[in-house]
Amino acid sequence: MLLAPLAQGGMAEIWLARQSGLKGFEKLVVIKRMTGALEADPEYVEMFLTEARLAAQLNHPNIVQIYELGEQSGSLYIVMEYLDGENLAVLRRAGQKVGLPVLDAHAARLIASAADGLHYAHVKVGLDGSPLHIVHRDVSPQNLIATMEGGLKVVDFGIAKLASQNTSSGKLKGKFAYMSPEQARGEQVDARSDVFALGICLFELLTRTRFLPKMDDVQLLSTIAGTGPLPRPSERRADVPPGLEAVVLKALVRKKEERFQSARELHDALEEWLRSTSAAASSNDVADYLRTVFARRIHERRQLIEAAMKAELTPNSARNFAALAKGKGPDTGATSRSRAKPSPSAGRGKGLALGGVVAALLLAVVAGALALRPSSSDEEVSTLLEPSPEGGVKPPLVEAPASPVLILDTVPRGAAVVVDDKPRGQSPITLDGLSLGEHQVKVSLDGYQDSQRAVTLARPGERLVVELALAPLPPAVPLPSKDRPRPRAEAPQGKLTLKTTPWTTVYLGKQKLGDTPLIEVSIPAGKRVLRLVNPERGLESTIEVDIVSGETTVKKLSL
């Protein structure tokens, strides 16, 4: 069932949709349908089909999932994964706007994840066991989506090619500002071209600037393909870590023979740098950062999604939904742009790319990244695309469940949830079976003040979304000078290196030391009790370690 339009471009229109099944089964998906104006253009049709055919073969946590390719009344459509995230271009701008630019470790983690997904595509083999040598050819911040779970998804394989195919079509395809030198010269490209583009993406996250200044297309291509020096990260930001700059520079070597020879090599170099730094860069750390930067936007989108799910989307709400889909939410500072529908020949000089459409789509995602099993029949999918006789979209027709549902989340996530004095687990959590009426909800998390709210479930079948923000504990107020105790000598410090299987979050009292593996973390000397927590597996235990002043204690545990 179609719920709301997300984006309309010259090549495709994008819809939020819901698949319903037996016994209350339902999933949110995205339907991308080719516009009628381009269905007669073989090149656009081939791009649309390429995206579906190639991406459907790729099953990797860092690549968007394509579930189905179909045709309804002569119109091609793709059913694809529904992501909760923002592309890296929006992330960079939004972080700067709120005074929280992307941390170096977070940038390295996100690009390492992108490299991992691209390497999987580069070395993918076909059904006969022969390598496909897929090259994305349009790697850019707009096609790298940071998800609110702290992961990253590579999207839009619309202009991807097999390295063995002849690409001399006379037209350059892709975003000029992120092309490799060999791609800008119209030469044959391989996986190393995508590596160069990833290097540009990392450069921009680290320096918070564009790799190349704005210029016309001819100047861009001449600069990239030429012999003049390319910018160094430290020229834009003096405090870029030298080790991380070295990784960027090797990814941006013009001669592909001297570049990282695979996306795997780039991934490994970034992971090695991450291991050398004490900065927190786990997926949970990235998720906490994203949810801080986009907290208001997430809240507004969830309200709109809830209205769409209940078929209560008013005309004004629909306009707000479309604004958020185009990246005009209050947290991005994005400006309005004309979206006039181009002719089939429009934009060919820009590369005939799907990037703008898919970027707009993925800016609009607001619920979790939800999986969808393929529909059981063409008829079932075609009902998703059927408009109502009045020209609008049919409202969803579902029977109300017997009891209301409370969907509870917190910022940051992982807080302990207590409802009516009864522990219920950790956020995010979906609670059904609650009675109608008022319920007392309390959430708590180490290092943060408890938060409590009265929640009223008023109607049978109601789906109520509640998000509670936890404030960090305030620093201790210093005593007046006359009451202030005499300063004591600083306690001697030792260091701890700790690796656990599975991974755990390590706490010393209420202080979070970080996620394992911990590398030479400073701790006061003496016998210390550490608490190890893995919320994914419901694991919590304590260990005692003897920290020796001036020395490093090394422990490896299997829990």
With a CB cutoff of 8 Å and minimum separation 6, the contacts of 395 are 311
Structure tokens at 493: 């410090």
The answer to whether residues 444 and 422 belong to one domain is yes
Q: What is the largest CA-CA distance in the chain?
A: 84
Q: Please give the DSSP secondary-structure letter assigned to residue 229.
A: P
The residue among 68 and 229 whose pLDDT is bigger is: 229
Residue 20 inside a domain? The answer is yes
The answer to whether residues 301 and 426 belong to one domain is no
Domains identified in the chain, total number: 4
> Is 190 part of the annotated catalytic residue set?
no
Rounded Cα distance, 261 and 155, in Å: 22
Q: Torsion over CA of 77, 83, 89 and 90, rounded to 10 degrees?
A: 110
The answer to whether residues 420 and 275 belong to one domain is no
Q: 461 pLDDT exceeds 50?
A: yes
The residue among 421 and 18 whose pLDDT is bigger is: 421
What pTM was computed for the model?
0.58
User: Phi-psi category of 472—alpha, beta or left, where left has phi over 0 and alpha has psi -120 to 50?
Assistant: beta
Residue 398 inside a domain? The answer is no
The answer to whether residues 60 and 100 belong to one domain is no
What integer pLDDT is reported at residue 254 of this predicted model? 95
Mean pLDDT of the chain: 77
The answer to whether residues 75 and 45 belong to one domain is yes
Residue 482 inside a domain? The answer is no
The answer to whether residues 268 and 300 belong to one domain is no
Confidence band, pLDDT 50/70/90 cuts, at residue 112: very high
Residue 394 inside a domain? The answer is no
Q: Of 141, 41, 35, 167, which Cα lies nearest the Cα of 88?
A: 141
Task: Tell me which residue range forms the domain holding 424.
Answer: 405-469
The answer to whether residues 245 and 182 belong to one domain is yes
Q: With helix as H, strand as E and coil as C, how does 119-174 read?
A: HHHHCCECCCCCECCEECCCCCHHHEEEECCCCEEECCCCCCEECCCCCCCCCCCC
The residue among 15 and 400 whose pLDDT is bigger is: 15
| Element (DSSP H or E) covering residue 376 | none
Confidence band, pLDDT 50/70/90 cuts, at residue 376: very low
The residue among 226 and 8 whose pLDDT is bigger is: 226
Domain endpoint, select from 250, 270, 289: 289
Residue 159 inside a domain? The answer is yes
Residue 421 inside a domain? The answer is yes
Rounded Cα distance, 531 and 495, in Å: 17
The answer to whether residues 79 and 136 belong to one domain is no
CATH for 363:
3.30.200.20
The pLDDT tens digits of the residues spanning 315-356 come to 555 555 555 555 554 333 333 333 333 333 333 333 323 333
Domain endpoint, select from 239, 268, 289: 289
Q: Using DSSP, state whether 396 is helix, strand or coil.
A: coil
The answer to whether residues 246 and 277 belong to one domain is yes
The answer to whether residues 278 and 143 belong to one domain is yes
From the candidates 84, 138, 194, 331, give the one annotated as an active-site residue: 138
Structure tokens at 394: 């049919």
The residue among 348 and 514 whose pLDDT is bigger is: 514
Residue 261 inside a domain? The answer is yes
The answer to whether residues 275 and 305 belong to one domain is no
CATH for 216:
1.10.510.10
The answer to whether residues 210 and 271 belong to one domain is yes
Residue 16 inside a domain? The answer is yes
Residues 109-118, mean pLDDT to the nearest whole number: 96
Domain endpoint, select from 256, 289, 322: 289
DSSP string for 187-240: ----HHHHHHHHHHHHHHHHHSS-SS-S--HHHHHHHHHSSSPPPPHHHH-TTS
